[in-house]
Structure 1
Amino acid sequence: MYTLLTFQSQIINIFSREAATEYWVLLVLAAIGFLYVLRLISLFLPWIYVTFLRPAKPLSRYGDWALITGATDGIGKAFTGKLAKKKINLVIVGRSQPKLEELAKELHSKYAYIRFLHLQVRFVVVDFTDDDLDGGLSRISQRTADIHVGILINNVGISYPYARFFHELDEKLTKNLLRVNIEVTTRMIQLFLPSMLKHKRGAIINVGSGAGSVLPSDPLYTLYAATKAFVDQLSRSLYVEYKHSGIDVQCQVPLYLATKMAKIRKASLAVPSPDTYATAGLKWVGYEPRCTPYWVHSIMWWLIQMIPEPIMDSVRLRSCLNIRKRGQAKEARSKAE
């Protein structure tokens, strides 16, 4: 009888120890789960605030004039309308004089009433791929000599006609990518930064790309992605240099938009129109040095960061190879015609 009772006691002790161990394991897992939920909440609630609830800063704090490069199409054109609504005078820069004249008339007809018939729109014709870049910058300087450009939006940029390997880039495309995406952005900032420092106020908005800031790599668009990564780093460092001088520098990072450059005609939830993007973009001016203003793009950015880089690299490579194949077929058809 004694032996049986001892055996039963030992069995009870074993189960008690196992129950206690299981209890502590469950307790630790519950604590980890609770901390994970807190972490998600700590990320989600600030995102909700800055994306949907945070008030936009008044753009008039920077001055009465804004200059936009690449102003006749896409994001640049959308920015012009949004700024005019906010009673900001405009200097629009593009390479087509007829398009600039048409846009100036359109802005006057739509938004002059907001400024009580005093909305001012100036335009400067500059082809930034032209060899005489100094001459183009000189025309911009002369056209703005009597005003303070408080908001500079470096929007102009070029990409590949279609995806291609690095060794397939010709000299002209290579030169234009480096010229427009890097040199023009840099020299436009150098042109207007002294005036901003003098007035102790200004905003510099550089339009980047997910290719240079979000994706771990962008094969077959390598040089384009590298130029946009330059824009990102340039903006981030200038933000630190001049944030105490009253000048806000920001790199805005859109993903795909329904523009000519992206070769996407129809807007959707994940691919907004330039107008939708510009509305979001102006709400972020004066805040973070790097941002993805459109809310769906910010979710996509977060999801991309969750994917291991080798997987993302492989997916992007396959996608770009397909784009290259279609582009080559289209080019062959054009030559045949």
Structure 2
Amino acid sequence: MILCFLDALKNQPFWAVGLFLLGFLSFFKTCIALLRWVYVSFLRPRKNLKKYGAWALVTGPTDGIGKAFAFELAREGLNLVLVGRNVDKLDDISREIRLKNAKIETKTVVVDFSGDLSEGVKKIGEAIEALDVGILINNVGVSYPYARYFHEVDDELLKNLIKVNVEGTTKVTQVVLPGMIGRKRGAIINIGSGAATVIPSDPLYAVYAASKAYIDQFSKCLHLEYRSKGIDVQCQVPLYVATKMASIKRSSFFVPSSNGYARAALRCIGYEPRCTPYWPHSLIWNLIYLLPEFAVDAYRFKFCLGVRKRGQLKDSRKNQ
């Protein structure tokens, strides 16, 4: 049958054979991509995270994704350095982790990422000096209270977006990285956002999206710089997760809880330099890439205008 088909192709004009080959190659590429997605999402074995080192450092661990990461890493048998600004919340989460994981050690470091970062980074360096920190989770970040035009972003919010999201991640990486280089092993996980990498643009969240685009490029460059030194650098790109920061209270199939996201995230550590760990998110990602960019932009802009309107209404009620 195949021979008959090939004979039939011989009788076709050159342009028809060329179109057939292009179609076949496109179909073959799609099949390979689909098989790879199934393998990565469901079949690929997770790496032994303890091979990176005995300790993991998590920024922003008192709520949301950061808190979920801390508990999942402790479940994997890793000791934890917890870095946040609220000493009471840090103590509470540290105590809770040790109650559930008796053999786990924890250390807390109080750092206000919107404050004096030089002093904060110095404290982190002193805390980890004698520790085998093998995993760094750069999770700390801030976003807009709700969607707004760029000219409506006040100076305080603008400063925090850049200082926490960009400078904070950069400085913490800078202080943790030398130890990993010396031990020739480590994993750095930077939490990005679909607003910067999946969605073509994110109107009314311009500075937040731009700060996360920095995280994406920063991670990719470090991946290339340090993979030969045994250090895996990865930007994880979640879409919506049910957290306080996202203003979403209930999880669903396409919006995981922070615990659901963290479990998926740990399976991806040590692989691609950029990934979206929660597999339903990857379905949305692929769908977005199939749609015309102007259509996605128009929908996103309309959606964000609705978020802005609801946020302004909420503010006006508070001020009454």
TM-score by length of 2: 0.93
1:303 aligned to 2:293? no
Paired letter, 2:180: M
Query: What is the aligned partner in structure 1 of residue 185 from structure 2?
Result: 201
| Structure 1 residue 111: Cα displacement | 1.4
Aligned equivalents of 2:275 and 2:15: distance in 1? 41
Aligned equivalents of 1:228 and 1:182: distance in 2? 8
Aligned equivalents of 1:97 and 1:88: distance in 2? 22
Q: 1:218 to 1:22 in 2, by over 3 A?
A: same
Query: What is the aligned partner in structure 2 of residue 124 from structure 1?
Result: 109
1:107 aligned to 2:97? yes
Q: 2:201 aligns with which of 217, 220, 226?
A: 217
Query: What is the aligned partner in structure 1 of residue 232 from structure 2?
Result: 248
Query: What is the aligned partner in structure 1 of residue 81 from structure 2?
Result: 91
1:267 aligned to 2:257? no
Any stretches of 5+ residues in structure 2 without a counterpart? 1-10
| Structure 1 residue 26: Cα displacement | 9.5
| Structure 1 residue 139: Cα displacement | 1.6
Percent of aligned pairs sharing the same letter: 53
| Structure 1 residue 193: Cα displacement | 0.8
| Structure 1 residue 36: Cα displacement | 4.2
Paired letter, 1:278: A
Query: What is the aligned partner in structure 2 of residue 332 from structure 1?
Result: 316
Query: What is the aligned partner in structure 2 of residue 45 from structure 1?
Result: 35
Q: 1:287 aligns with which of 267, 271, 279?
A: 271
Paired letter, 1:314: A
| Structure 1 residue 37: Cα displacement | 3.5
| Structure 1 residue 270: Cα displacement | 0.4
1:187 aligned to 2:177? no
1:153 aligned to 2:137? yes
Query: What is the aligned partner in structure 2 of residue 226 from structure 1?
Result: 210
Where 1:164 maps in the other structure, the secondary structure is coil
Paired letter, 2:30: L
Taking only aligned residues, the RMSD between alpha carbons, in angstroms, comes to 1.9
Where 1:248 maps in the other structure, the secondary structure is strand
Moved over 2 A (4+): 21-40
| Structure 1 residue 39: Cα displacement | 2.7
Aligned equivalents of 2:161 and 2:35: distance in 1? 39
1:163 aligned to 2:147? yes
Any stretches of 5+ residues in structure 1 without a counterpart? 1-20, 113-117
Paired letter, 2:47: K
| Structure 1 residue 180: Cα displacement | 0.3
Paired letter, 2:269: V
| Structure 1 residue 32: Cα displacement | 6.1
Within 5 Å, which residues of 2 pair with 1:66-77? 66-77=56-67
Aligned equivalents of 1:25 and 1:193: distance in 2? 55
Paired letter, 2:55: W
Aligned equivalents of 1:240 and 1:140: distance in 2? 26
Aligned equivalents of 1:271 and 1:26: distance in 2? 46
TM-score by length of 1: 0.88
The C-alpha deviation readout for 1:66-103, integer Å capped at 9, x for no partner, is 00000011111111111111110000111111111111
Q: 1:185 to 1:25 in 2, by over 3 A?
A: closer
| Structure 1 residue 215: Cα displacement | 0.9
Aligned equivalents of 2:88 and 2:211: distance in 1? 29
Aligned equivalents of 1:147 and 1:23: distance in 2? 69
| Structure 1 residue 129: Cα displacement | 1.0
Where 1:255 maps in the other structure, the secondary structure is coil
| Structure 1 residue 148: Cα displacement | 2.1
| Structure 1 residue 40: Cα displacement | 2.2
Where 2:101 maps in the other structure, the secondary structure is helix
Query: What is the aligned partner in structure 2 of residue 133 from structure 1?
Result: 117
Paired letter, 1:174: L
Aligned equivalents of 1:245 and 1:27: distance in 2? 48
Paired letter, 1:204: I
Aligned equivalents of 1:122 and 1:31: distance in 2? 60
